[in-house]
Structure 1
Amino acid sequence: MSDFGDALGTAVEGGLFAKAIDDRTRDEHLEDGHFAEGACLNCGTELIGSHCHSCGQKAHLHRTIGAFMHDLLHGALHFEGKTWKTLPKLALKPGELTRRYIEGERARFVSPMALFLFTVFLMFAVFQVVGLTAPTNIMTDASIANTFGEIEERMASDRDDIRIRLSETSAELAELTEERSTASEAELAGLEDDIASAEEERAELEDELATTERNLAEFHDLRERDIVKVNTSVTDIKTDIAFIDKVIEKWNSNPGLMLYKLQANGYKFSWLLIPISIPFVWLLFLWKPGYRAYDHAIFVTYSIAFMSLFFIVLSLLIKAGAPGWIRATLFTFVPPIHIYKQLRGAYSLSRFSAFWRLAVLLIFINIVAILFLNLLLVIGAF
């Protein structure tokens, strides 16, 4: 991805995260080491109460390193009372959390966007720690075919070397045999030893040559069979659509780098999952009045935040060596159960209404994932 795309992703994410921190900072408690101002330091309005009634800034501001660390922990990491009220609700009663936030209980819970940004950041950080990163040593079909060719060339070169050595040994043996016919009795004993050594070396070389030629023939057959697969790779695909062909070209040249960019872009542009998902949730309630796009946005954002936390737990289980059946069971049942509970509580649905919407939404989730992946590929082309 270009510097422009990289900067765009970082700027949007950073702006949203900064907004979440700024909103949170307004509700902090006072500590020692604050200004003793009589007017708002932000807009100059005379202060009445704990906050400026004109711009909303706190009346008393901190200016100590302790206060800075307080801001860091509370603002960036959300170590505060709201977190411990939000996370249990998000895990066990996601529908109630969503509905209460929509209905106006904002100060009690961490906002969906702040929670989303933090959980996505934490998820990718944990992935890095546990080693769940994109591989960088991937070979394309074209590079595999090239490697096969190099191996076959080396084997043929070894065969030719053995043939040369065998020819030299045979020539040497012929010379020794000719010398034996004219050698004296004193020379004959030494010649017989040399002839025996030459014959033994020739026999070994003949065996080695036979083995090498057999291996070369078998490898050639294997290569010919694999060439059928190689020729069906994306290398030969041309769509005549500039950015798609550019993606294919980048993939063929360095797939490991492309996978790394996909992972990096997935983190930077993860917020795109929200606007992509909202229309699909809206379709589920097209004929049901009383629900707005805002409600669906809150539903989607809290849901993705939970899934990020869930993937963190799964990655830690993988790192800890948990049995595969435990991970498979959690992956199979936890996401649909959570979505079902969130649907039912957030939209006040009956069991049947929540169940069929869950079934449709699981299909929509796959569509959203494909659209998001394609967007990342498009972004990676520039």
Structure 2
Amino acid sequence: MGAGHSFTGIAAAPGVRLDLDRLQGLVHVDTDRGRVTLHAGTRLHRIPALLAPYGLAMPNLGDIDRQSLAGAVSTGTHGTGAGYGGLATQVCGVTLVQPDGGLLTVAGDDPLLPAAALSLGALGIIADVTLQCVPAFLLRAEERSEPLTAVLADLPDRVKSADHFEFYWFPHTDRAATKTNTRLPPSSPRRPLPPLRGWLDDSLLANGLFRATCAAGLGVPAAVPAVNRAAARLLGGREYTDASWRVFTQRRTVRFQEMEYAVPAELLPAAFEDLRALIDNRRWRISFPVEVRWAAADDRWLSTAYGQDTGYLAVHRYWREDPADYFAAVEEILLAHGGRPHWGKLHSLDARTLAQRYPRFGQFQALRNRLDPDRVFSNGYLDRVLGA
């Protein structure tokens, strides 16, 4: 369904399912304000080419760009950067098809915008989305393989001083792969990766290496620590400068299952240490790295970063492995640190538990009751996380 990037049943339809793949393209550009309106089915990877003639770019992106615009903002897709919000914070207008077929436009200072910009698809069918863009910019990427102790020792400074910082920790090792992206004006010299180097690094080394480590973990679990140590040292060690969207995003070809939780940024170091201790104390062999990112506080009612600067911890398992025990144990730790689950990734929470973690949760439920009282737009997942 859709781009197939969500791990939950958020897009599953109990009756009629609408395919918005042909609802793509640019609707309107406001060059004075840097705002663009796009059809909801437009895939993220197609947006840069649509914005380029106007010298615009999206302020931030996640590392995957296969999703539709509507799906990405509705599930809380985010990138990294302590000063930047998720994709839903870029939304300054949205048009919803209501249960009776009428259109509801929410834009500007409308008090409903913080709810409609990240709605899980529960308030109506998104027809188009207006984004607040920024002038096009370049990113200088610095990717390193570093000792984990060095990364953790000055983690707050790294996060604060960088425009966009993230790291991957390889379980059973003391190594981390770091990525620091610095925003540059478009007039800066471009130093992109040579095509062959890019293919070797991303297709052969990164994806091929992950596939090999996963296969090793599945066939010979005892080999995982050694394989992870080798992988951690091979990844990183490059610098390049290119268009923002080229640097933000990556090509992923290895199938996996994922759970991600947001915690208050100040609690992330403690949560990460608890996660490390958990893996060390269990007999699991985890071949996929743990991904760590950050985002600024925002006002979107159902955003994982609502009202608080946020750190993200994401755990993965190869698609042929059962993630249940690992994810359940990690989830328990992250919930103890005030965690909020990513709406498009695996988690076990229901509406009763989620209501305690989102200050505007009750108001969102009331708005849903008003706009869709007969639950035309609901499904099993939404009934679980929002209430039937």
TM tier relative to shorter chain: under 0.3
Higher relative contact order (CA 8 A, sep 6+): 1
Larger strand fraction of residues: 2
Q: If you compute each CA radius of gyration, which structure gives the higher value, 1 or 2? A: 1
Larger helix fraction of residues: 1
Given the two structures, how large is their TM-score scaled by the length of structure 1? 0.23
